[in-house]
Amino acid sequence: MTSSRGVDKQTPSRRKRVVVAWTREGLGLRSRKLADAFGAQGIHSFRGRLFGVSLPAPVRYVFQSFDTFRKLVGIRPRTILVQVPPFPLTLIVWFYCKLFGADFIADYHSSGLVERKWRRFHRIDRFLARRALANIAHNQNNAEILEAWNAKNPLTVLSPASPREEIIDESVELPDDLERDLARNGLKVLMVNRFGTDDCHNEVLEAAGLMPEAIFFITGDYKLAGLERGGVPQNVSLTGFLDRSVFLRLMDRCDVVLALTSRKDTLLWSIRECLALQKSFVATDSHVMKSNFGEYGMFTDNTPDDIVEKIGQAYSARAELSREMASYVEQDNERWNADVERLEKLINSKVQSESS
């Protein structure tokens, strides 16, 4: 049987498995969960700077391609779970599999399927999706895109829930400036934000101006949006990019969390963190968001007035929402185990067919 803790790594079909990603932050929690469940080793490569100079993505991908291929050759995995995007990583993995007779499974994050900068490369993604052992989508809407591509074995595997003790370190101390802002009077609101093209930071800044009694913490590299700490409302704290452990401690200390996006068909990971911490949240009102998390939070049309209204509702209903969240982790782990077992059977059936 499969469990969220993985199974015997000595089983022949489980030998030499890896999970590969090129994210700035390292292997994300979803990738680590997949690695744990499938008894796989994690491979991460990211080269952001060279001799102190920031590298543009195409140059970075060249360095990362050589590094990833070198690591794959050294490990010689039989099965590779690769995080998509970016597509150059999938190309490197496919090339390795062609040379060494291995299989790969593409784990498509929503951005790779719906974000404009990646859609122009979908011809390459479709080519690779038809040559994978399986293609994983994070929600049903994303799975429909893979099905339209005639991708091989499209599967919907939602990210797993996590218990509180798994994601937060209670001993982590926050920087002095954050502690000072947390000590101010008023409702504390955290916006999970990267200042990406799909983030709603402009709407939240307007909402902060309409809600001077609250303190807003907005994460991410604010310089990407041309902002300065002195150029926002006085009740807004631009935190900059935070280490994950600090970020989660800040989330835990706030009263309401904003998980907003202008990108449709996206399930934001931060909602799962809110569920683990039993933290009231306001999310974007989309079909995908509400169909998965509708009973656990409040949902907004992303306009400043509505964001303010939903923050108030989320705070008022925090006790009731917290009770609903308490049972979510246990129930969702049962679903995750079933998804993992389904994918495990697919991998094993390929191994068995090759050995027969």
Give the per-residue pLDDT at 356: 57
Nearest to 154 by CA among 342, 356, 286, 283: 342
Average pLDDT over residues 24-48: 89
320 token code pair = 């009731």
Q: Where are the beta strands (DSSP E) in the chain?
A: 17-21, 41-44, 49-50, 53-54, 79-84, 103-108, 134-137, 154-156, 187-191, 214-219, 236-240, 256-259, 281-284, 298-300
| Residue 343 burial class via C-beta count within 10 angstroms: exposed 0-12, middle 13-18, buried 19 and up | buried
Per-domain residue ranges of the chain: 12-157+332-355, 164-316
107 phi/psi in degrees, rounded to 5:
-100, 100
49-92 pLDDT, tens per residue?
888 888 999 999 999 999 999 999 999 999 999 999 999 999 99
* pLDDT for 325 beyond 60: yes
235-285 pLDDT, tens per residue?
999 999 999 899 999 999 999 999 999 887 787 889 999 999 999 999 999
* CATH architecture of structural domain 12-157+332-355: 3-Layer(aba) Sandwich (3.40)
Look up residue 216 and give its DSSP letter.
E
| Confidence grade of residue 159 (pLDDT, cut at 50, 70, 90) | confident
> What is the pTM (predicted TM-score) of this model?
0.72
- Whole-number percent of the chain with pLDDT over 90: 67
Give the per-residue pLDDT at 313: 98
Average pLDDT over residues 283-311: 94
**Domain covering 164-316, topology:** Rossmann fold (3.40.50)
Considering only residues 198 and 75, tell me which one the structure prediction assigns the higher pLDDT.
Answer: 75
Fold match flag (12-157+332-355 vs 164-316) = yes
Mean pLDDT score of the chain: 90
Q: What is the DSSP string of 225-250?
A: GT--GGGS-TTEEEEES--HHHHHHH
**Whole-angstrom distance, CA of residue 8 vs CA of residue 315:** 45
Cβ–Cβ < 8 Å for 320, 280: no
* pLDDT for 354 beyond 70: no
| Confidence grade of residue 203 (pLDDT, cut at 50, 70, 90) | very high
Give the per-residue pLDDT at 8: 38
Q: Which residue has the tokens 């080793």?
A: 41
99-148 pLDDT, tens per residue?
999 999 999 998 899 888 899 999 999 999 999 999 999 888 899 999 99
Apex CA 316: angle with CA 315 and CA 321, to 5°? 75
Average pLDDT over residues 290-301: 92
- Whole-number percent of the chain with pLDDT over 70: 94
